[in-house]
Amino acid sequence: MSQHHEIDAFRVSMRDIDLNGHVHNSVYLDYFEDAVVNQLRAYDLLPYFRPATSGVSYHVKKCEAIFLHPLTVDDMIIPAVFIEKLGNSSLIFNIKLEIKDKKVICAEGKLVWVCVNIDDNKPRPIPEETRERLTANFSFIEAV
């Protein structure tokens, strides 16, 4: 994977497994969101995304998952989070989940977040300081 701030690996839990013995498709969205939040935490950026400390809110507008290799219980996963696009009011995170021992990407995902006003939930520009911190800390990846 490309350069990124390493996020702690996690182990697939039995609670995430479906009747076929693989991670349920919807659980990948939890993995993607956890990876983004953990990356923001690693860069000390969470206060820029909490309404109480930033004065704005971020809503998930779109989420996408591409399944490349099945995950099973006890697999160790290494997430990597990149920014695909930093728009005026939207932000696209690109997430890759790698199976640690196999060195294979098992899933790729995208989360589109939109910055909104707290009072009316209407889109607004991402605050400049947030934009600067994201640019300084995240690796950018081209859209595929």
Query: Among 26, 73, 61, 54, which residue's Cα sits nearest to residue 118?
Result: 54
**Residue 6: predicted pLDDT:** 56
Please determine, for residue 4, whether its predicted confidence score (pLDDT) is greater than 50. Answer: no
| Kind plus residue range of the DSSP H or E element containing 132 | helix 128-137
pLDDT of residue 15: 96
Instruction: Write out pLDDT tens, residues 70-126.
Output: 999 999 999 999 999 999 999 999 999 999 988 899 999 999 999 999 999 999 999
Asked if the model's pLDDT at residue 3 lies above 70, the reply is no
